[in-house]
């Protein structure tokens, strides 16, 4: 697995746009961007009470210094440490892909 990671990173011309879907995936993506380059981060959230409880105990928030565009498509508030750094879009269930592409167009990505 490490060899594949090395080979793909050697062939990359620009960092990827990282898109996560769900609260657990959003927490994992925050951990990833804390030490890997990305062109942007999109967190699409459809959390339930069960996933919120799981996240709080198993997947704590990973703080990072934002150096790229960030969008959170959700009906919840963004993590406090991202105040002023994040675009928030109110989640329209079933239209997440459209909302994602509209945000990408708005920022010129």
pLDDT at 46: 61
DSSP 23: H
pLDDT at 40: 95
Q: What is the pLDDT along the chain (109 residues), one digit of tens a residue?
A: 556 666 666 666 778 899 999 888 888 899 999 988 899 999 998 655 555 666 777 887 788 888 999 999 998 888 888 888 999 999 998 999 999 999 999 999 9
Instruction: Report the predicted TM-score, pTM, of the whole model to 2 decimal places.
Output: 0.80
pLDDT at 9: 64
């Amino acid at each position: 697995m490490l060899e594949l990671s090395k080979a793909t990173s050697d062939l990359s011309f620009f960092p990827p746009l990282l898109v996560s879907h769900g609260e657990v995936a959003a927490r994992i993506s925050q951990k990833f961007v804390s030490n890997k380059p990305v062109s942007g981060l999109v967190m699409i959230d459809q959390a339930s009470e069960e996933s919120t409880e799981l996240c709080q105990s198993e997947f704590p928030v990973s703080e990072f210094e934002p150096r790229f565009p960030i969008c959170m498509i959700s009906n919840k508030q963004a993590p406090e440490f991202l105040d002023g750094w994040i675009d928030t879009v109110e989640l329209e269930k079933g239209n997440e892909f459209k909302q994602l592409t509209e945000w990408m167009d708005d920022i010129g990505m």
